[in-house]
Structure 1
């Protein structure tokens, strides 16, 4: 009998192995399908990082493993007698790769100094004037020949359907050889990745590596009255607890009909500059006046971009308010009109501080940091090692902390951030302090003064990784720094 039962059981097992599993049996158990999305708030993504008010450096559910939300069910280890009664294993759902963000507006050309006759001719050829605005920054000087005067107006032209941008730029240039004509390039915030949890308060103390005090009141008293600081960035949450009492003015440049940019980057940079002392995200100069211009908009549902047209308008807005120090934690392509505007700003005495970018050590220079006269800032970590994604080159001027920098999240919390975006505010703050002591500093003299404050941490002298070296805030407003030419 035992032998007969054994043969029957063996036959059943063999049958189970060779029969194809039926599909969608009504009584078959099914496993839930779990998909994981890694939310990266420093990748210009859409997810707000506002639930980070827990004293830690990051959310516990930011990745696939170790998350606090749903978890992948474990497989049962026991032997299954009838596998054909189970649902077939479903293929994992693959997320489509995010679409690449173009480096320019696909169908637009911008021009400064375009004669009215040329505009009329272009409209007869199918071009459309989308926007035009006079800029005080580019207003003619009262001396010189009229033909050599700077442009007073910038025009945004929509290219006729079927006309390539290269051909459109050539056509506009041919009609107006004296005009400045280029593409309407996009610029991005210079942040790249979510920093890991670095233990809460230890992240806030990253400024210690350059000797910046947690309470800068004494520094300000020693140096004098601080100038206004300008910021061109994404949208900002002025209701953030670190900013709700700040002397902050926010101006939006981009069209209100366009999707507003995310608040993660702008809020983080603003708080790093003027966040309240004693708050979750204390700032470098909490008593400063900050004029922040939101020149960005949301593109493709997840990326924040500022067009050249809006970036030029943002610089003009700050120039009209006589803002001397301007933080530019953004980068993008070389552009004729942006270069012209930057040159005009510097000629009027503005100190432009820009992130070098996060395109990598072998990447070509990005702009505006690559322009002559702009103070180009790279990033280092707590150990003074270069940030692995930072651009390098002869244009790099100075280094500052930019890895695991503790600053504000977009709504109420705080978290560590990485990128050259978060190194630039340290140098902007230092420039503001130097101007408080010596208001007559020109942009060239400011660059010299900052170089004398740098600790040489790379190859002797200026190098392509750290520039003149790491900013040393301990020497701000000291006799040694005041003696600089």
Structure 2
């Protein structure tokens, strides 16, 4: 007998549906976000697939949808978005030099690059120089040219990062399971709605802070799981190129300075030199970053920031504790948590039914924060709490086991 499941498809949503339909909310008026990110982060449930279908074919299909989605993103937003030298979408016309010397900047200027600003990212001890490209050069071409002339310099495109999970509206929401986690947690996402209590919200994009369904869901899941002190950095706002690496780095710096000990990033993007340095700097200050592996399937490229060293990479399971078929991958995998048939608040305060690795991530972040309430040794405590799934011991599907299975927000 064939068991049928719903497969989340970001790509098919792009081809036929407006944002409200993509989010599964055709009758609910929602706050809007930047027009570049809307078609990328909104999703619908794809036509059902037979679970007996060959796994390789499913993975290939998800990979193809990802490529179509990114291609459509660039073609429809040529004034804002361009592919970098690695073929990943980034803010058009901008390169970033990290901790560049005066000589490096002078060399770039001699090649026709214009220094549009030099800033120190508070909390991370990073200095970033924004360069405008010489006329006539593509982003990829300019990046290759500058790297050839400055082989030792850290040069980065301002890559875009995307939220990793859709939601559909329902009335009400379950009550929190606990109110006892004292360790402060930061979130890098969109802003939560006014009805979700947090200690602080700060914007790092045009129009930010601006309420978003995704940010509201992630924030309310942390609150539901018992975290008392939450700060949210909105890296999207209404910015057409929101979720870029520079915005995320700035957000990390603010959250570190504000005292967050755990930082939840339910976003995915390509490897990026600036963001890698920013994450490492936060970790050096004792902060633990928890990130989603994304929803582009097991054949997708490794997702970042989940793949950066020592970041807790999180995947998701359904209500039967089966790995989500659309779960992406990282260079390592730490834990799984519920990521389907769970509920949280949207930007209007209503309840949403959720699916995606985005929503498993705050549940893991909450359990991590709870272990930090008791001092060091958090890895041992989490491992002791995690329930082994799949092959015995750590594996590439469920990581080191399932966390927060008992705190699944349900009806």
TM-score above 0.5, yes or no: yes
Q: Does structure 2 conserve the Cα–Cα contact (< 8 Å) formed by 1:41 and 1:49?
A: no
Partner of 1:16: none
Which of 231, 235, 240 aligns to 2:187? It is: 231
2:96 pairs with 1:114:
no
TM-score, structure 2 length as denominator?
A: 0.74
Structure 1, 351-360 or 317-326: larger mean CA deviation? 317-326
2:338 pairs with 1:357:
no
- SS in structure 1 opposite 2:352? strand
- Measure the CA separation in 1 of the matches of 2:186 and 2:265: 9
Please identify the structure whose Cα radius of gyration is greater. 1
Alignment of 1:131-170 (within 5 A): 131-139=117-125, 152-170=126-144
Specify whether residues 448 and 130 from structure 1 end up closer, same or farther in structure 2 by C-alpha distance, changes over 3 A only.
farther
2:393 pairs with 1:461:
yes
Q: Does structure 2 conserve the Cα–Cα contact (< 8 Å) formed by 1:189 and 1:305?
A: no
Partner of 1:267: 216
Partner of 2:305: 368
Give the C-alpha shift of residue 254 in structure 1. 1.8
List alignment gaps of at least 5 residues for structure 2. 1-15, 32-43, 46-69, 75-80, 82-88
Q: Does structure 1 conserve the Cα–Cα contact (< 8 Å) formed by 2:24 and 2:168?
A: no
- SS in structure 1 opposite 2:371? helix
Q: Does structure 2 conserve the Cα–Cα contact (< 8 Å) formed by 1:195 and 1:418?
A: no
Give the C-alpha shift of residue 260 in structure 1. 6.8
- Measure the CA separation in 1 of the matches of 2:367 and 2:217: 18
Alignment of 1:334-349 (within 5 A): 334-349=271-286
Cα deviation per residue 1:388-407 (whole Å; 9 max; x = unaligned)? 21113551111101112211
Cα deviation per residue 1:149-199 (whole Å; 9 max; x = unaligned)? xxx4111212122113233224433554443111111001111x44597xx
Q: Does structure 2 conserve the Cα–Cα contact (< 8 Å) formed by 1:285 and 1:429?
A: yes
- SS in structure 1 opposite 2:299? coil
Partner of 1:142: none
Q: Does structure 1 conserve the Cα–Cα contact (< 8 Å) formed by 2:307 and 2:313?
A: yes
- SS in structure 1 opposite 2:160? strand
- Measure the CA separation in 2 of the matches of 1:44 and 1:121: 51
Partner of 2:73: 100
RMSD: 3.3
Q: Does structure 2 conserve the Cα–Cα contact (< 8 Å) formed by 1:267 and 1:409?
A: yes
Give the C-alpha shift of residue 426 in structure 1. 0.4
Give the C-alpha shift of residue 111 in structure 1. 1.2
Q: Does structure 2 conserve the Cα–Cα contact (< 8 Å) formed by 1:232 and 1:327?
A: yes
- Measure the CA separation in 2 of the matches of 1:353 and 1:395: 12
Partner of 1:398: 335
- SS in structure 2 opposite 1:293? strand
Alignment of 1:44-55 (within 5 A): 48-49=29-30
Specify whether residues 343 and 397 from structure 1 end up closer, same or farther in structure 2 by C-alpha distance, changes over 3 A only.
same
Partner of 1:10: none
Partner of 2:326: 389
- Measure the CA separation in 1 of the matches of 2:239 and 2:122: 29
Partner of 2:61: none
Give the C-alpha shift of residue 292 in structure 1. 0.5
Q: Does structure 2 conserve the Cα–Cα contact (< 8 Å) formed by 1:41 and 1:264?
A: no
- Measure the CA separation in 1 of the matches of 2:285 and 2:149: 31
Alignment of 1:221-370 (within 5 A): 226-237=182-193, 239-240=194-195, 243=196, 246-256=197-207, 263-274=212-223, 283-285=224-226, 288-298=228-238, 305-370=242-307
Query: Alignment length, in residue pairs?
Result: 343
2:363 pairs with 1:414:
no
- Measure the CA separation in 1 of the matches of 2:101 and 2:25: 38
2:20 pairs with 1:39:
yes
Q: Does structure 1 conserve the Cα–Cα contact (< 8 Å) formed by 2:367 and 2:404?
A: no
- Measure the CA separation in 2 of the matches of 1:255 and 1:39: 22
Specify whether residues 364 and 466 from structure 1 end up closer, same or farther in structure 2 by C-alpha distance, changes over 3 A only.
same
- SS in structure 2 opposite 1:39? helix
